Structure formats: C-alpha cells, structure tokens
Homo-oligomer: A and B are copies of this chain.
Amino acid sequence: MSGKMNLKQLAEHLQLSPTTVSRALNGYPEVKEATRLRVEAAARAVGYSPNAWAKGLATGRAMAIGHVMPVSKSHEMVNPVFGDFITGASEAYLRAGYDMQLTLVDDEDEAMRYRNLRRRGLVDGIIVHAPLPADERIALLREIGLPFVVHGRASELPDDYAWIDMNNRRAFERATEHLLALGHRRIALVNGPERQDFALRRREGVLTALAAQGIEADPALLSSGEMTERLGYTATREMRALPDPPTAIVAASMVVALGIWRALRDEGVTLGREVSVVAHDDDLGYLRNGGDVPVFTATRASVRDAGRRAAEMVLEMIRDPSCAPLQTLIEAELILGQSTGRAPS
C-alpha cells in the first residue's frame, strides 16, 4: 500500500506507459483529462510519490533552498530570530513544493561549502544569514551563479544583490530621537557585535539621531558584544561608574535589557526615573504577546514575515534568473512603554 512503488510499476498497474503516467502526474497539457484523473487516483491509492533523487537527476532541479548560517567555532549564540525566520520561509516553500536544507558553517570553510552545495546540485537557491559589512560570500555566490537572497545587508559592498532587511538604522534612530525628546542628553548604546552588519547599522542610527541634536557621541557610552544578559549587566555597571553616567540606555535586545535592569536594580536605581531604558525586541516576541513593556522596535511576527518574503524572493529569482535584484526593506514598529521617562533635571 505505502511500500515501494515506482513509476514503472505504477504504469504497469495502470496499463499505461511510464511516459504518460509521468506527464499526467506533472500536469502536462497533452494528456487526456480522463487519463489524468485515473492516474492521479491510482497514485493516491497506492501511495505513490516520485523518488526525489531520480527526479533531481533527470530534471537538474533540486526543488530545495539552502539556508546557510555561519556559526563561529567559539560559542557564539544562535540568534533566536533564526527560528522565526525559517518558520516563515518554510511556509513559502511548502506552498511551492520546495524543501529546506539547512547548513551551518564555520567561518573558515564557508567558501568551500558553498561551492560544494552548488556542484552537488542539492539546492536551487540560497538564503545567506548574518552577513558581515564586507561579506565575501556575496561575490562568491554571484561567481558560482546560484540565486541567493541575503537576510541583512553588507553595507560596505555595492548594493546590487538581492536582500531583505529590517531598517535597523532607522529603528535605532527613532528610539534615540524618542529619548532625546524626553530631554535625555547622556544616551548610551549597548549594542550587538559590531563586526556584524546589523549592529553597525544600529549604531549608525543612534549616532545620527545624536548628531542631529548637535550631540557628539561619547565613546564611553558605546558598548558592544554578544547580546547576552552579561553584556547588559557589565556595560551598565561600567557606565554607571563614569563621572557623568548616562540617563538613558538603548539596548540591542531584550536579553541585554534584562542585564541592564539587573545592574540598575543592584544599584538601587529606579527604572524610568533616574535611568530610562529602551530595548529593541527581535528575539522573544514580548510585544506581540505582552503588554506594557519598554520601547520596542520590531515584532516577532515581522521576523516570520521576513522569512516568508525572503523565500518568495529566491523562488522568484529561480523562476526568472534575469530579473533585477529584489530588495526589501522592512520598517520596524515603534512602541513605547513604561520604562522610559523624562530625563532627570
């Protein structure tokens, strides 16, 4: 019933040629409607599904998209948004009949892996995650000739490839503007790892907002690192020890914000009074599920949406390889909460 049954056997069973059965199953127009129905019914009945390897070999198409995620040998965190992103992507793949292949690569042998992916023919397209400002993979993939979409951007490279990205720069600019409007002048940033492109853009956004008010950024108020609670904690303690500590802090993620809160609590400082905190949330969907949290600038749902759109973009590029590079910029929501207050006078 559901055992092994191949096209040839199915064809014999139906008293038809493999050719016709294949055509019927793949929606070719030249097959008679009655025949098609008969074939489809039989296929369903015996639980036939084509052997993917034979199909791939014959067609040259993989019907699969590769997601490639760099993971340092060192214990770097896997960004929690990753799960949401691929959830969205898989929705699109499901609809289109594509599979998703996941490859985690060490930074070192990345190039080789891509070439392999291509030559082995396992994927028809690729989504590149976590790009660096001058990411080499972009040139590499173009050379290889595999359609690809970058989740994020490589700011130092010419903007002529396909990408989908949150407007990190603008989101952090707005968050900072918000704090400035509340009268804050000593505004700190606890940022993600600044070798990553997204973190650089976030930093730019903060600096832009400050500059617009004629404030020059104090390097002592700019911190960055892996987005952990520890980062938030230590950065805050250090900044609080400054002669002129910050009155407001922009946090790169809720996890970081948690560390900040702990640090402030340990110093007996009241959140929203002596110090205001604004956090970007792309990691845990507090907002969508939650209530009156601090300031947030992206929602979990939008990450999933980004994944879906990224997937649709690659599929489109596969369909029409000659099309101009698709680019999608997603604006973050800005939502205010209770942990921000006016600057103390």
Interface residues of A (CB under 8 A from B): 2, 4, 47-54, 56-57, 62, 64, 67, 71, 75, 77-80, 82-84, 86-87, 90-91, 94, 99-104, 115-116, 119-122, 144, 226, 228-231, 233, 254-255, 258-259, 261-262, 283-286, 288-291, 293, 300-301
Contact = CB atoms under 8 A, between A and B. Distances in A.
10 smallest beta-carbon distances between A and B, as pairs: A78-B83, A53-B56, A228-B289, A52-B120, A90-B104, A53-B57, A49-B119, A230-B289, A230-B290, A80-B80
A122 to B, nearest CB: 5
Contacts of A100: 101-104
Given A49-B116, A289-B228, A104 B78 contact: no
Contacts of A80: 80, 83, 283-284
A2 B111 CA distance: 12
B285 A228 contact: yes
Contacts of A261: 261
B75 A84 contact: no
A16 to B, nearest CB: 20
A268 to B, nearest CB: 11
Contacts of A229: 284, 286, 289-290, 293
A101 B104 contact: no
A13 to B, nearest CB: 16
A60 to B, nearest CB: 8
B53 A121 contact: yes
Contact of A286 (B104, B230, B283, B284): B230
Contact of A86 (B56, B104, B230): B104
A51 to B, nearest CB: 6
Contacts of A90: 71, 102-104
A317 B144 CA distance: 36
Nearest to A106: B94
A123 to B, nearest CB: 10
25 contacts: A2-B144, A47-B119, A50-B120, A52-B120, A52-B122, A53-B56, A53-B62, A64-B101, A67-B102, A71-B90, A75-B301, A78-B83, A78-B87, A83-B83, A90-B102, A99-B103, A99-B122, A100-B102, A228-B289, A228-B290, A230-B289, A231-B289, A233-B290, A259-B290, A262-B293
A75 B120 contact: no
Given A49-B119, A122-B52, A289 B99 contact: no
Contacts of A288: 75
Contacts of A75: 288, 301
B71 A79 contact: no
Given A52-B120, A86-B102, A233-B291, 4 more contacts: A50-B120, A80-B283, A228-B285, A229-B284
A101 B78 CA distance: 18
